[in-house]
A and B are shown apart, each in its own frame.
Chain A
Amino acid sequence: MASVNKLGRHQARMAYLFITPTMLLFAVFMVIPVVMALYLSFTNYDVLSSHDWVGLDNYRRLAGDTLLWQTFLNVMYYAVVFVPLNLMISLLLAMLLNKRKAGVKLFRTFYYLPTLTSAVAAATVWIWMLHPEYGLINGLLGYFGITGPAWVSQTETAMLSIIVMTLWQSVGSNMIIYLAGLQGVPDYLYESARLDGASRFACFRYITWPQLRPTTFLVSVMAIIGALQLFDQAFVLTQGGPANVTKTPVYLIYQQGFNQLQMGYASAQAFVLAMAILVFSIISMRLTKAEEPIV
Chain B
Amino acid sequence: MRKWLIMMLTVVMFGGLLAGCGGSGGSSSGGDNGGDGKSGGKVQLTFWGDWGGEGQKQFETMVDAFNKSQDRIEVKYMLQQDMVTKFLTAATSGGAPDILFWDRWRTSLYAPKNVLRPIDEYMTRDGLNPDDFYEESLKELTHDGKLYGLPLTVDARALFYNKKMFADAGLQPPTTWDELEQAAKTLTKWNGSKLEVAGFSMGDPGLFNMYLQQAGGQMLTEDGKTNFNNEQGKQVLEFWQRLLNEDKVYKIGFEEGLGEGNDAFVTGKVAMLYTGPWMMSTYNKYGKDLDYGIVPPPSGPNGDQGSVMGGFGLVIPQGSKHPEEAWEFIKWWTANKDNALLWAKTSLNMPGFKPALADPFFTEDPLWKPFTETLEFAKTRPTHPGYSVMEENAVIPNLELFMQNKQSLDDTLKKAQEQGDKLLADNASVE
Contact = CB atoms under 8 A, between A and B. Distances in A.
Q: DSSP majority for the A interface?
A: loop
Interface stretch (B43-51, B63-71, B275-283, B381-389): B381-389
Interface stretch (B154-162, B208-216, B249-257, B370-378): B249-257
Given A17-B6, A255-B389, A258-B88, A241 B253 contact: no
Contacts of A48: 88, 91-92, 110, 113-115
B14 A21 contact: yes
Nearest to B388: A259
Interface residues of B, number: 46
Contact of B430 (A134, A152, A260): A260
B366 to A, nearest CB: 32
Contacts of B256: 127, 130-132, 150, 152-153
Interface in B187-201: 193-195
A154 B256 CA distance: 11
B13 interface: yes
A153 B403 CA distance: 11
Nearest to A244: B397
B254 A132 contact: yes
A240 B89 CA distance: 27
Interface string A27-53: 000000000000000000011111000
Interface string B231-267: 0000000000000000000011110111000000000
Contacts, number: 110
B23 to A, nearest CB: 15
A49 B114 contact: yes
Given A48-B88, A243-B401, A259-B389, A150 B252 contact: yes
Contact of A21 (B17, B397, B419): B17
A275 interface: no
Interface in B109-142: 109-110, 112-115
Contact of B398 (A50, A128, A154, A243): A243
B84 interface: yes
Contacts of A150: 251-254, 256
A125 B256 CA distance: 12
Q: Which of A24, A127, A132 counts the most B-chain CB atoms under 10 A from its CB? A: A132
Given A133-B254, A154-B252, A155-B406, A261 B17 contact: no
Nearest to A61: B426
A46 B430 contact: yes
Nearest to B91: A48
A109 interface: no
A219 to B, nearest CB: 31
A25 B21 CA distance: 11
Interface residues of A, number: 42
A258 B85 contact: yes
Q: Which of B193, B257, B397 counts the most A-chain CB atoms under 10 A from its CB? A: B257
Interface in A106-136: 124, 127-128, 130-134
Q: Which of B17, B85, B397 counts the most A-chain CB atoms under 10 A from its CB? A: B397
A132 B251 contact: yes
A255 B385 CA distance: 13
Contacts of B109: 259-261
Contacts of A247: 393
Given A124-B257, A154-B253, A242 B388 contact: no
Given A150-B252, A153-B253, A47 B92 contact: yes
B226 to A, nearest CB: 16
Interface of B: 6, 10, 13-14, 17, 84-85, 88-89, 91-92, 109-110, 112-115, 193-195, 251-254, 256-258, 385-386, 388-389, 392-393, 396-398, 400-401, 404, 406, 419, 422, 426-427, 430-431
28 contacts: A17-B10, A21-B17, A46-B113, A46-B430, A48-B113, A49-B112, A49-B431, A124-B257, A132-B256, A133-B251, A134-B258, A147-B193, A152-B253, A152-B256, A153-B253, A153-B256, A154-B252, A155-B404, A241-B397, A242-B401, A247-B393, A255-B389, A258-B88, A259-B389, A260-B109, A261-B88, A261-B109, A261-B430
Given A48-B113, A48-B115, A154-B253, 15 more contacts: A21-B10, A47-B92, A48-B114, A49-B113, A50-B431, A64-B422, A66-B419, A132-B254, A152-B257, A240-B392, A241-B397, A242-B400, A244-B397, A260-B427, A262-B427
